[in-house]
Amino acid sequence: MTPRHRRPRSAFAAQLLLVILVGVDLHPQWSLFGRSLHRRNSADAFVPQQRQWRSVSAPFCGGRLLSTASPSTSEAESEAEADPSEMRLSEMKAELKERGVSFADCFDRESLTKRLVDARDGTAPGATEPKPAADEEATAATNDSSGAETVSDGESTAPPPDSDTSPPPSSSFDREAVLSELRSLRVAELRTRLSALGIRWATMIDKDDLVRALADAMEEGANFSTSGALRPGEVADITDGELSLEVGGGASTPLLLDVYATWCGPCQMMAPQLKEAARELGSTVRVAKIDSDKYQTWASKLNVGGLPTVIVFDGGGKELQRVEGALMKDGLIELARSHI
């Protein structure tokens, strides 16, 4: 017969299983270690020792009580940061700009990813913590409030606009439409068009960079030329319609026009000289040429008697001077600059 102070083995097994799986001890009366938690007093009575009960409201893992405290701010921020390998190039570049880290020397995704990781670790040159959105809103609100003058009755009025800082006149160039059109092109087409304009695109990693660079060049051409066909520092072979716009007025720079023909030897000899002159004149003079055989109406309207004929027009389309015969680079530059 089993003594009364001993329990069956099945009870020990059940208690052991609870300790392993749950990680808690039951009341000392039913504990495996119940004997060690009792002491005999002078009256030979068993008095259970006082023990601190563990709260079962907290989660357990592997027999240990897990902390229910909320994660620290740094841990939350690290979890909020996206993995650079899963980010788009534009997102990585935007975060680098917020941190004040330059990425001009990053020519591929791998180098850009490494630069972002270094910026987050604080090892990249010039790396800073990005400004929280709340701080940006507070700064913007402060700037807005500082731009207003407070009067004695407590009302604030905006300062009078300065006549010298009036906005420039709006251009007819529709940038949003141009951006939408350029985004529909392939990267190879964008690079080809940039190369034709003499714009280097080797450091442009993302397609959006190519689109913006090409749109900027097109906008610059639209502001430089009334027809949008002329570019600063280049010679454009224009049509009759484009010439009508260029001499129609509204331009801020003179126009140097070469009237030529494909069969004309002196015209072909002067072509490279005209390109060099246009490159040196830059944005100070619009340089163009027109084929007299294709557009005979304009050749007769301009009273062209010999080829090549170089004509200078002012911004309003008025003829200022003409020279018949081929000119070298220095002669073309001197002719154009005499009317700037």
Phi, psi angles (nearest 5°) of residue 34: -60, -35
The secondary structure of 235-276 as a DSSP string is: EEE--HHHHHHHTSS--SS-EEEEEE-TT-HHHHHHHHHHHH
288 Rama sector, left if φ>0, alpha if ψ -120 to 50, beta otherwise: beta
DSSP-based three-state secondary structure for 312: strand
DSSP-based three-state secondary structure for 199: coil
For the record, the structure tokens of 298 come out as: 């304009």
* Rounded-to-integer distance, Cα 111 and Cα 88, Å: 14
For the record, the structure tokens of 95 come out as: 């975060």
* Rounded-to-integer distance, Cα 289 and Cα 246, Å: 12
User: Contact, 292 vs 307, CB < 8 A?
Assistant: yes
Q: Are strands 286-291 and 235-237 parallel, antiparallel or unpaired?
A: parallel
| Residue numbers annotated as active site | 264, 267
For the record, the structure tokens of 269 come out as: 């000899």
* Rounded-to-integer distance, Cα 86 and Cα 161, Å: 47
Q: What is the dihedral of CA 311, 313, 318, 321, to 10 degrees?
A: -40
User: Contact, 187 vs 204, CB < 8 A?
Assistant: no
What count of other Cβ atoms lies within 10 Å of the Cβ of residue 125? 10
User: Contact, 194 vs 217, CB < 8 A?
Assistant: yes
C-alpha 294 chain-centroid distance: 44
Report angle CA 80, 86, 87 to the nearest 5 degrees.
Answer: 75
